[in-house]
Structure 1
Amino acid sequence: MIKNSFFLLFKLLITLFVTLYCSRVLLQELGIEDFGIYNIVGGIVSLLSFLTGALASSSQRFFSYELGKNNGNISNYFSMTMIVYFILSIVLVIISQTIGLWFIYEKINIPSVRFSAAITVYQVSVLTFIISIMAAPFNALLISYEKMKLYSLIGITIVIIRLLLVISLIYIDADKLIVYSIISLFLSFISFLLPFYFCKKQIKDVKFKIVWSRKRFNELLSYSGWNLFGSLSAVGFNQGVNILINIFFGPTVNAARGLAVQVNSAILGFTTNINTAINPQIIKRYSSNELESMLGLVKNGSKYSFLVIGFISIPILFNTEYILSIWLTEVPEYTVSFIQLIIIDSLVCGFSAPLMTSVQATGKIKYYQIIVGGLLLLNIPISYFLLIKYSNPLIPLLVTIALSFIAFNARLFFTRSLIGLGIRDFYLNVVIKSIVTILISISANLFVLNKVGGFGFLNIVIVGLINSVCIFIFGLNRTEKKFISSKIFSVLKKY
């Protein structure tokens, strides 16, 4: 698992720097307005991802579960998943060409001179999305088989191609908004082709075949059906905010939120990689009835996720304006506030991913999705009515933070009910200990920076060092400290 995490971390570091640089180039080449238009139009297409999100998590759960049971049924589940995805693609095309187009024409705030380009971008984005749907089962296979080195190499290849294509925008004399949407389409095709090729070469025991099993279809449909509601809630929770901001404030504020989301995605990428390595193990251990070992993974995964977010986000919170000044040539209004609030929300959600995976592993997700999904969907109506009253673009993010905290506690309750996770133990040894660690780090940083001063890059270095020391001393147990110390000494001995 540590080896898998290393490969994913290496991929993430490259992805992080390339993504941030590409954002700088895109904002510069597209301009704030077109950058905001791309974010809102792409966001509408992303609303359809509640369908794929449901099936993606379902297929990965079934693949990992069957591998844990080792009964040879994974090939049948893979074939059924591919058939369901194909049917889903047809449904999504119909939805996008009816409800989706109506929404853009009637509800979205786009300047009239850019409306034609926005429609073109929308249609290309739909095709991009359909191709990415068909890639999902192959990525799920790679993760379930824990082929993290291969998965990372594919990701790095795609990121490098994206970098080269985005740089080419500088030299292209055409409508760059449309050109960038075509670049995204090409990248989605590569993102499908590479996992497809490597799954065929590396995973020999899984073959696609035309197969139909009513039992397996009902199993997939029943499980995916409740995941569908949960995925709709999660997408609405995020993209609903984007649409509300567009309706009330226009595409320039969308650009600010789009940049904040990209910064946050880069931060969350580190925890996503931790959870990508841990999730198959959680599901496999549940399927083989190793509950104590599974609970240990859930607690450790939650703690590591939160501490990693804290480690990366605290230097950003202390130096947001400086980082933006060296990252972007032009910073849209509200970007600083959006970044800081979205990072706070990520810290609130930091404990949740392993809890969600543990619930998914049991397959008993009906009431979980109803309660947690219902809470998340409240974001849209609450934000809408508060925006009418106060007209402040930061309001939806404040609502998001409050609902994220309530949803985390709901997830914790379901994890206790389904797999016996002790809430008191989790709060004392994971939540409180981790939060106290981050608060000590913030206090130490405020004290030192107030005494020593510092600016720019020096500030980031000081905060990073204090952060590292605080997390090591207060956030880790004796075994974890020993493990990290031994790794550091083994590296130092080589030099």
Structure 2
Amino acid sequence: MKNQLKAGVILSYISTGLNMLIQLFYTPVMIRLLGQSEYGLYTLVGSVVSYLSLFSLGFTGAYLRFYSQRKAKNDIDGIAQLNGMFLTLFLAMSVMAFLCGMVLVQFPRQLFGANLTESELSTAQILMAILVVNIALTFPSGLLDSIVSAREKFLFQRIVTLVGVLCNPLLALPLLLMGFGSVAVVSVTTFITILKLVVNVFYCLKILHIQFFFRGFDFHILKEIAEFSFFLFLNMIIDQINWSVDKFILGRVSGTSAVAVYGVGAQINSLVITFSTAISSVFAPRVNCIAAENSENRNQKFTELLTRVGRVQYLILMLILSGFVVFGKFFITDIYATQEYAQAYPVALLLVVPAFIPLIQNLGIEIQRSVNKHKIRSLVYFMMALLNVFISIPLAKKFGPIGSALGTAIGLIIANGIVMNIYYQKGIGMDMRYFWRSIVSLSKGMIIPTLFGCWIMRSITFDNYIFYLAMIILYSAIYGLSMWFLGMNNEEKALVIQPIQKLIRRGR
């Protein structure tokens, strides 16, 4: 199991790193082939259709908790009954999402407003229809992912993800070059979703021998699941508002070009989020095991685990964040996109920087769920989402994409940076002073990279790709050495040294 955990973490970062490399090469090509208007339309339609994922009602996040409870009691029949109940619910949700989505497809003008042309509305209908099918298929596929994750089969999961990441551009790019446009992109995405569902079904039934009992629907347990999931559902609504409503608002008040600019900044933010969840996601079963044991020092274990994982996330994310601050403007305007997308740089900064604190603490979300104390977080985030909407509408009208991002940033700082840390300390009982002392100690390693980064921004103008890449490598090397000598502890150094030692021994 320990090897599965290590392999899961390593493959998560390989997959995430590969995904980032693909975004570096594939997305710029896609943006240029589609053009700003169609890329904005593709982004806008995707953000609208994503609201259909709310039909899952938060039940996906509930499976792990209720499975862990039955596993702790070695209740095999109870687990099979739980599987059958969840599968029935998710298939029903899938059908409802599909039907609702197909109704929405008939009303593109009412959805997207008067700023879209007739041609754009026609394309939007096709994109929506394909994406509705895709979103409906993600319901059963997402449940099977949860089942595999609960059994800590991270190696299989990450390989499937890795293959999906590779297949997307390999299949979509030839179609884009042939002139099929954004329809080709969403068609390939849906095709990969279908393949992933088939593979998950085979693995769960034939390899893991997962059982599904559909008789004796336990409505008492269903009520428990519904009560637990309600606040997860509320949190899903909040996430949709925070990460999708800005695009919708911009589409209504500014049109597809503004959505395209915001979409590039949001894409950078989503890549950073993926890096943060790559490690924390594999620790979710362990969190639920600690919760199920309910020992006297449970909160101490939670604090230590949150701190250990948070420090590793900090090491990786701070390199990405600080590197983007220094090199991001040139990256967006000269590599990733064009000068037309210059505003995407401040948009990305406004989204990524305030999100840094919750990203190094995102294991805390699993901790809250495992002890059924996620309700307050959902309520806090709900208030933040409302604040985001009210602020973002006037800001978007006045400042465009930057205004929308600023509204989201204000909400993130208040809710994630301040309120949630108080709740972790007072409401759950973790020692957040210990967490932040450890993070501050690690931050000593940022002194030298910060000074070097400021010098680059003030003194250097990039005029060719080779020099630009060389400076990134130099900055990364200085960051790594500074963190090694000034920030990292022995455990973190061992995470780097041990794999190298194993490779050397194998080489001999």
TM-score by length of 2: 0.88
- 1:383 matched to which residue of 2? 392
Deviation at 1:34, TM superposition (A): 0.7
| Aligned partner (choices 314, 330, 344) of residue 306 of structure 1 | 314
Check 1:234–1:436 CA distance in 2 against 1; reply closer, same or farther (3 A cut): farther
Q: What secondary structure, in the 3-state scheme, does the structure 1 residue paired with 2:26 have?
A: helix
For 1:50-129, list aligned pairs within 5 A: 50-52=54-56, 54-72=58-76, 73-98=78-103, 102=107, 104-108=109-113, 109-129=115-135
For 1:45-444, list aligned pairs within 5 A: 45-52=49-56, 54-72=58-76, 73-98=78-103, 102=107, 104-108=109-113, 109-174=115-180, 176-207=181-212, 209-290=214-295, 291=298, 292-324=300-332, 325-328=334-337, 332-388=341-397, 390-408=398-416, 409-430=418-439, 432-435=440-443, 437-438=445-446, 440-444=448-452
Check 1:58–1:192 CA distance in 2 against 1; reply closer, same or farther (3 A cut): same
Higher alpha-carbon deviation: 133-142 or 67-76: 67-76
Structure 2 gap segments, 5+ residues each: none
| Aligned partner (choices 16, 28, 35) of residue 39 of structure 2 | 35
Deviations 1:202-251 (A, max 9, x none): 22243353551101211111111121111101111110111112222211
Deviation at 1:274, TM superposition (A): 0.5
Check 1:61–1:255 CA distance in 2 against 1; reply closer, same or farther (3 A cut): farther
Q: What secondary structure, in the 3-state scheme, does the structure 2 residue paired with 1:206 have?
A: coil
- 2:493 matched to which residue of 1? 481
Counterparts of 2:218 and 2:19 in 1: how far apart (Å)? Answer: 40
Check 1:235–1:309 CA distance in 2 against 1; reply closer, same or farther (3 A cut): same
Query: What code does the residue aligned with 2:451 have?
Result: S
Higher alpha-carbon deviation: 202-211 or 397-406: 202-211
Deviation at 1:112, TM superposition (A): 2.2
- 1:460 matched to which residue of 2? 472
Check 1:314–1:90 CA distance in 2 against 1; reply closer, same or farther (3 A cut): same
Counterparts of 2:457 and 2:45 in 1: how far apart (Å)? Answer: 42
Deviations 1:186-211 (A, max 9, x none): 12211211212111222224335355
Counterparts of 1:104 and 1:65 in 2: how far apart (Å)? Answer: 48
Counterparts of 1:167 and 1:289 in 2: how far apart (Å)? Answer: 51
Deviation at 1:402, TM superposition (A): 2.4
Check 1:329–1:274 CA distance in 2 against 1; reply closer, same or farther (3 A cut): same
Counterparts of 1:163 and 1:173 in 2: how far apart (Å)? Answer: 15
Query: What code does the residue aligned with 2:401 have?
Result: P
Deviations 1:2-24 (A, max 9, x none): 33211222222333323443312
Counterparts of 2:232 and 2:254 in 1: how far apart (Å)? Answer: 32
Structure 1 gap segments, 5+ residues each: none
Q: What secondary structure, in the 3-state scheme, does the structure 1 residue paired with 2:263 have?
A: helix
Deviations 1:354-387 (A, max 9, x none): 1111101112333331223322332111211333
Check 1:253–1:487 CA distance in 2 against 1; reply closer, same or farther (3 A cut): same
Check 1:332–1:416 CA distance in 2 against 1; reply closer, same or farther (3 A cut): same
Deviations 1:28-47 (A, max 9, x none): 22221111101101100112
Q: What secondary structure, in the 3-state scheme, does the structure 2 residue paired with 1:394 have?
A: helix
Deviation at 1:313, TM superposition (A): 2.5
Q: What secondary structure, in the 3-state scheme, does the structure 2 residue paired with 1:13 have?
A: helix
Check 1:297–1:100 CA distance in 2 against 1; reply closer, same or farther (3 A cut): farther
Query: What code does the residue aligned with 1:474 have?
Result: L
Check 1:439–1:152 CA distance in 2 against 1; reply closer, same or farther (3 A cut): same
Deviations 1:455-494 (A, max 9, x none): 4111111211122123223332233334534544554564
TM-score by length of 1: 0.90
Deviation at 1:103, TM superposition (A): 6.8
Deviations 1:267-287 (A, max 9, x none): 332221101111221111111
Q: 2:306, 2:361 within 8 Å by CA — same for their partners in 1?
A: no
Q: 2:389, 2:407 within 8 Å by CA — same for their partners in 1?
A: no
Deviations 1:41-82 (A, max 9, x none): 110011222333722212233334443554333222221111
Counterparts of 1:37 and 1:462 in 2: how far apart (Å)? Answer: 38
Query: What code does the residue aligned with 2:317 have?
Result: I
Corresponding position: 1:26 with 2:30: yes
Q: 2:395, 2:407 within 8 Å by CA — same for their partners in 1?
A: no
Counterparts of 2:384 and 2:448 in 1: how far apart (Å)? Answer: 31
Counterparts of 1:353 and 1:101 in 2: how far apart (Å)? Answer: 38
Higher alpha-carbon deviation: 63-72 or 365-374: 63-72
Counterparts of 2:495 and 2:166 in 1: how far apart (Å)? Answer: 34
Q: What secondary structure, in the 3-state scheme, does the structure 1 residue paired with 2:378 have?
A: helix
| Aligned partner (choices 471, 488, 493) of residue 483 of structure 2 | 471
Q: What secondary structure, in the 3-state scheme, does the structure 2 residue paired with 1:476 have?
A: coil
Counterparts of 1:18 and 1:419 in 2: how far apart (Å)? Answer: 40
Query: What code does the residue aligned with 2:139 have?
Result: I
Check 1:50–1:412 CA distance in 2 against 1; reply closer, same or farther (3 A cut): farther
Higher alpha-carbon deviation: 2-11 or 450-459: 450-459
Deviation at 1:421, TM superposition (A): 0.3
Counterparts of 1:78 and 1:439 in 2: how far apart (Å)? Answer: 51
Counterparts of 1:39 and 1:76 in 2: how far apart (Å)? Answer: 40
Q: 1:68, 1:285 within 8 Å by CA — same for their partners in 2?
A: no
Query: What code does the residue aligned with 2:343 have?
Result: Y
Check 1:486–1:256 CA distance in 2 against 1; reply closer, same or farther (3 A cut): same
Q: What secondary structure, in the 3-state scheme, does the structure 1 residue paired with 2:58 have?
A: helix
Deviation at 1:100, TM superposition (A): 7.0
